Structure 1
């Protein structure tokens, strides 16, 4: 809604020093969204005056028609002599009044005017178009002014070129602010000034002498007012002040009748429509459209009507889409149009239809026909039903004043009885909502300022005004008090959550895992939880794989990804491919999030009530209809894991890094993973590790890690040798022994012993490590594999594993004999369990 400040001042006596920015600040503080304050004419400098064209000389010796004009500008030039002005426009003639800017003036955009020689003549100023004056986009011709203005009159004041316009974004619940009346009320309240309500008019009582009308659907149209004006001058046009107000508000002047209805709509927020009485056939009616009916609207489009459309009718059928747009057949005829048989040129009798329509009905009709209009915008957001009679009277008064018509005494009004909307609210309710002691007097005063009737003492009965359909419950009223008292007055207080209601164990583990992976050089990548069958095919998942059983969405965002994910890898691998394609080749990404695994027992979800807390049985039924949603963690790597530099050669990421990422996750839960060779899509069958942890005393598979299968890399367009890890965070949490404890710190020095064992190539290093740990006993503090060697000297199918064993006692310094004995015991256990032989022994 564009609101000129000069128009706003007509209803509120703002101090002269108040600017548009001052008003904007107050309205913003009251909860409105003022997007801009446009200062019209700020770069315009006079003299800009009314001129009368005395003579026109056509200069024909040039490529385009040029006119040399003599223009009377009164005494504005200081001499009283006519000005000589060159002009190329053709839409004016001798005797016309035009806007002339004289030398020394500056037009909008910094265009300075000087006397200069052009086309062989001296031009002493410029005759201005609408676009050059900054009041529109029309540049085809000169602005021709009404003939009643004398030459030399100040055109800046006449055309109201200097003004400030507030551009306000109106929220759907503030429909009353789509009018000068509503904005003036907010402004008056914000400045503590009285309001001159434009709707306070003397309106004649409804009678039987008015134009006949009837309403079939009283729920969709609860009020219909019809007024008639006759004896209008067809050639009458809207005066400059009315046209300029429409232009500043963002509307284009069209004809007097249309301009008046638009003006009243902007002023009062009540849309209304004018019909040419000679083109109406019988009474005006409001009903739902019938099957097969059509209507050509004012925009020239022929529309097939839907039975849900609300239409305005006469005896010939629909003549308008109710609340949206009128029909072309009953359009107001311009004086230049071909008159009807037996009718004078132009429209001389007008029937005004002013109604209150159901917002939902209008909104659906506008969307159904893809037809947005200023009237529909207002009806959708709620129009004051009691403003119809006043809006009709205002339009009648303007037509009589500006076109010399006569208001017919007949007034037709069809209205359904409306029940009073009383809201009971405690006088201290706004205080409890805001945490501020406003007091009863402040609450009552603020509610009365927005137009409410308030009765009662400690418990108030509040009747909202007819223009505020958004006020329906006590919290709406509390919000009004709070915003008018000022949001800036609300104290800043931190909430005080009760003890024990912080993050739960699952959430804490989730955060620790994210921090640990980020510290290890991984970047978190959040992806949409949707996938399609193509993504699962690219991963090479076999038929019958549990990950192929998905939850399909009823309304997916994309037909290519209609299901919820069962694994995190598709989204992460797509992010890896996209970043690699854009030049980032050293990549390490991770994600933690939910996956959705159907159990096969899901049912139809129940619709829970919103009026009260659902029963436990209803919540249980809703939970039973949901799939399992375990939280998982995944990581993907490609390119160099360690870059080359002056410190030495780099190292590409490989399967071991993916396994280490899983161990990093497990360490945050205090869980020790065991790793075994496995074959599991989408990993390489020879470079895939199954990750196990002890859950509830049982060895449980918690994830996989390793290098991706070459076919998967090719199908997804990934970098060569890309690696990935995915694990179940919930299972890892279950495997945790409880609150992680810090390792004991000994003040005694460690004793380090190395051992190299030769085993068959098929023996997992994890088995050898387990045997060493079991044999070393309690003195073993840590064990690390630091070398793997194969060669001819070991024999075919043999490998050497070198371990560093660190021994330490908590209460003493170990002797060499104790450390050696522990080492020998560890070797003996490894020899017995795995068939190892000590290298070099």
Structure 2
């Protein structure tokens, strides 16, 4: 947004420099990106009056002009501008002048006629893109004056970069309100006079869509002169604010929008058939816009229509059929409040943006439509003449602005400074906010032009920025170190990271936002949690598994011809769970357990002369890594199925009889879909079981010898070894044996001759030792029978 300094200072004029003013605005949240002069640098250009114009004797398109610069004698200048005429005032660059682009003016001879300078167009002076003729200067300028001074071309223009929440600053008045609040000044508001109706004509307006339009005001003005010239002061302000002058009626509408932030529209009344209806468009309708584009409409776009056709895109742009032109004599001025949600994003659907849409989709004051109609009318009557009718005002519903409470102590805590409550109240008053003190809080009712004040933090921000970020005390950060004890019964996630690193895995850190396709392919936790405002389409849901991220990492490496890959990740997953409660680090209905996962592919060992041929990493390599992560953790493994893993090459990981994870080879379907050179081995487990550590317990050095016994048991082929192991672990802890079974090991598996179909023989070795006494054969036999009875619970029998 471009803000001419003189226009701003006409409303509020603090006694500070331009640079200081820009700094104030930037520190208050309205960032000033650039400070630039109205015109580029040039010198030696003066106001001149053309006294005589005659045809050049040797060129049809050139004229020889006598020009008065206030000196003793006029200058002779050869000019090729088509609009040069006797009596006009125009810029004249004298000999020695330097124009933009470092172009020097010298005395020259053009087609045999001497020229003592150059009459200039606006384009040649860098004032606009209009190079079709001389810049026609206002007649009230003094001949001979320096043009930069005469037109205030050294004035500065501030280019502001506003954040989307600062809709109240999208006008000169809005910026003036900020400057006045910072400097404790009063605002010189433009005078708005009520125009008494001279005629009784009104245009019937019906609003059929209250969810589109909350208020619609309008007025008929007859017998206007559409060809009246826009006053130079208005044209100057518009051009310096970045608006091209079009015609008086259009310029007035744009001027009020820039000055007060109120977009409006002026219709050619004689082109409106019947009354106007504000409604949602109907599918199949079209509209030719003022920019020449014809757009197809649907039910999601608001329009203003007459009895025969759509005439305007509500809050965005008017239609070509009712645009004012040179033949316009009667007009209808419209000012409305459009609900921001009804305007937001509509212009972008058609591939353009407008100043009106930019303001309406952020929120425009709904309380001032009639007031601004009066202001526009007074300008129209002043410049274009005419007779005005009464103002009609249709009100359906205005925004409800609930009061916002701000605690004084909370404000001081967030800002980090002891701002007195009386100063907070003064800041609210200077900002025009209706604030009431209630004990240790302020209750503020936001004004209708502030759509950004909704929560306590918004009010704290207002206090901070007007009080001044520059006033914040400079304090060095202070971190209070607290010695914390580390329980021997717990490991930290870093322990698992370090263990995986020692096993040759490299840590990956992936986003918790993932592609919804990954969850369909690899997830097991049901419907994932969708992100309301994803930063990218492939980050639309919260992950329920770490597998998708690691497969993506592996795919990236494979495409870069990196085949030996071992990676792991430790992080949270997000699972819907109605039992999850709300808390400081938890969200109701969402469980967030920590998981760790790993992926491995390539050679099991680096190539070497002592191991040929080289072997690819397999299920048992990764299983061994999982078991080696931490000491003294007992795991079981059972054949299982998982959507991400190969059927028949997948196992669930058991800990104390509970499934805590899965391990296996990636499913061939995903190997093919992701175009992988080979199937990697994956594992994913809950982190918690690996964080539980056993406290070391003193045990006397055994004084009795250990005894080994081998047992051969017969079980069905479907009986997993994990179930046998769980039984043996339970027996080892039973009171009957009380620690005599020190450890066990499976050393042989047999099936075939001597066994029935569907059976297998498992050879187990038990290490027995009693630290209190030497085991005799009778005691050993009793222990063996206890073990066999326990194994009978899973259908195991002693092999005969």
Using structure 1 for the length normalisation, give the TM-score. Answer: 0.66
1:350-400 residue CA offsets vs partner (Å, 9 max, x unmatched): 332222222222336545655532112212222122332332233233333
Q: Say whether 1:6 aligns with 2:6.
A: yes
Q: Say whether 1:399 aligns with 2:384.
A: no
Consecutive unaligned residues in structure 1, runs of 5 or more:
61-65, 335-345, 537-545, 745-841
Q: Say whether 1:423 aligns with 2:403.
A: yes
Q: Aligned to 1:386, what secondary structure does the other structure show?
A: coil
Q: Say whether 1:447 aligns with 2:448.
A: no
1:569-603 residue CA offsets vs partner (Å, 9 max, x unmatched): 66545545545655878866543446789xxxx89
Q: 1:477 aligns with which of 459, 464, 482?
A: 459
Q: Aligned to 1:278, what secondary structure does the other structure show?
A: helix
Q: 1:591 aligns with which of 542, 565, 569?
A: 569
Separation in 1, partners of 2:132, 2:353: 28
Separation in 1, partners of 2:656, 2:286: 73
Q: Say whether 1:202 aligns with 2:193.
A: yes
Deviation at 1:268, TM superposition (A): 0.4
Q: Which residue of 2 aligns with 1:181?
A: 173
Q: Describe the shift of the 1:9–1:738 C-alpha distance in structure 2 as closer, same or farther (beyond 3 A).
A: same
Q: Which residue of 2 aligns with 1:82?
A: 75
Q: Aligned to 1:351, what secondary structure does the other structure show?
A: strand
Q: Which moved more, 1:259-268 or 1:548-557?
A: 548-557
Q: Say whether 1:280 aligns with 2:272.
A: yes
Q: 2:663 aligns with which of 684, 690, 703?
A: 703
Residues 810-829 of structure 1 mapped to structure 2, 5 A cutoff: none
* C-alpha contact 1:6 1:163 (8 A) present in aligned 2: yes
1:50-77 residue CA offsets vs partner (Å, 9 max, x unmatched): 56373453866xxxxx95443455327x
Residues 89-104 of structure 1 mapped to structure 2, 5 A cutoff: 97-104=89-96
Q: Aligned to 1:330, what secondary structure does the other structure show?
A: coil
Q: Aligned to 2:25, what secondary structure does the other structure show?
A: helix
Q: Say whether 1:377 aligns with 2:358.
A: yes
Separation in 1, partners of 2:485, 2:116: 79
Q: Aligned to 1:333, what secondary structure does the other structure show?
A: coil
Deviation at 1:23, TM superposition (A): 2.0
Q: Describe the shift of the 1:725–1:653 C-alpha distance in structure 2 as closer, same or farther (beyond 3 A).
A: farther
Q: Which residue of 1 aligns with 2:515?
A: 530
Using structure 2 for the length normalisation, give the TM-score. Answer: 0.69
Q: Describe the shift of the 1:454–1:553 C-alpha distance in structure 2 as closer, same or farther (beyond 3 A).
A: closer
* C-alpha contact 1:226 1:354 (8 A) present in aligned 2: yes
Aligned residue pairs, count: 692
Q: Say whether 1:70 aligns with 2:64.
A: yes
Deviation at 1:564, TM superposition (A): 8.2
Q: Which residue of 2 aligns with 1:299?
A: 291
* C-alpha contact 2:78 2:115 (8 A) present in aligned 1: yes
Q: Describe the shift of the 1:12–1:689 C-alpha distance in structure 2 as closer, same or farther (beyond 3 A).
A: same
Deviation at 1:11, TM superposition (A): 0.6
Separation in 1, partners of 2:79, 2:690: 92
Separation in 1, partners of 2:45, 2:611: 77
Residues 598-677 of structure 1 mapped to structure 2, 5 A cutoff: 622=589, 631-636=595-600, 655=616, 669-670=630-631
Q: Which residue of 1 aligns with 2:335?
A: 354
Deviation at 1:12, TM superposition (A): 0.9
Separation in 2, partners of 1:501, 1:228: 78
Aligned-residue CA RMSD (Å): 5.6
Q: Say whether 1:216 aligns with 2:180.
A: no
Q: Say whether 1:329 aligns with 2:321.
A: yes
Q: Describe the shift of the 1:631–1:548 C-alpha distance in structure 2 as closer, same or farther (beyond 3 A).
A: closer
Q: Aligned to 1:102, what secondary structure does the other structure show?
A: strand
Q: Say whether 1:738 aligns with 2:693.
A: yes
Separation in 1, partners of 2:406, 2:637: 69
Q: Describe the shift of the 1:456–1:710 C-alpha distance in structure 2 as closer, same or farther (beyond 3 A).
A: closer
* C-alpha contact 1:591 1:633 (8 A) present in aligned 2: yes
1:13-44 residue CA offsets vs partner (Å, 9 max, x unmatched): 132x511x322221222222333333443533
* C-alpha contact 2:639 2:652 (8 A) present in aligned 1: no
1:136-182 residue CA offsets vs partner (Å, 9 max, x unmatched): 34556654446665654543345443332222233333211111100
Deviation at 1:630, TM superposition (A): 6.8
* C-alpha contact 2:93 2:105 (8 A) present in aligned 1: yes
1:772-829 residue CA offsets vs partner (Å, 9 max, x unmatched): xxxxxxxxxxxxxxxxxxxxxxxxxxxxxxxxxxxxxxxxxxxxxxxxxxxxxxxxxx
* C-alpha contact 1:204 1:411 (8 A) present in aligned 2: no
Q: Aligned to 2:56, what secondary structure does the other structure show?
A: strand
* C-alpha contact 1:636 1:723 (8 A) present in aligned 2: no
Q: Which residue of 2 aligns with 1:756?
A: none
1:302-357 residue CA offsets vs partner (Å, 9 max, x unmatched): 445545644334454543233222222221112xxxxxxxxxxx333333222222
Q: Which residue of 2 aligns with 1:753?
A: none
Deviation at 1:728, TM superposition (A): 2.7
Q: 1:259 aligns with which of 243, 251, 272?
A: 251
Separation in 1, partners of 2:314, 2:643: 61
1:228-256 residue CA offsets vs partner (Å, 9 max, x unmatched): 44444343222333223222322222111
Separation in 2, partners of 1:317, 1:219: 21
* C-alpha contact 1:703 1:725 (8 A) present in aligned 2: yes
Separation in 2, partners of 1:390, 1:86: 49
Deviation at 1:267, TM superposition (A): 0.2
* C-alpha contact 1:295 1:304 (8 A) present in aligned 2: yes
Q: 2:390 aligns with which of 405, 410, 422?
A: 410
Deviation at 1:697, TM superposition (A): 7.5
Q: Which moved more, 1:346-355 or 1:580-589?
A: 580-589
Q: Which residue of 1 aligns with 2:234?
A: 242
Q: Aligned to 1:101, what secondary structure does the other structure show?
A: strand
Residues 433-444 of structure 1 mapped to structure 2, 5 A cutoff: 434=415, 436-444=417-425
Q: Say whether 1:728 aligns with 2:684.
A: yes
Deviation at 1:257, TM superposition (A): 0.6
Separation in 2, partners of 1:144, 1:673: 94
Separation in 2, partners of 1:559, 1:471: 31
Q: Aligned to 2:267, what secondary structure does the other structure show?
A: strand
Q: Which residue of 2 aligns with 1:837?
A: none
Q: Which residue of 1 aligns with 2:796?
A: none
Q: Describe the shift of the 1:716–1:227 C-alpha distance in structure 2 as closer, same or farther (beyond 3 A).
A: closer
Q: Describe the shift of the 1:484–1:566 C-alpha distance in structure 2 as closer, same or farther (beyond 3 A).
A: closer
Separation in 2, partners of 1:283, 1:704: 73
* C-alpha contact 2:287 2:297 (8 A) present in aligned 1: yes
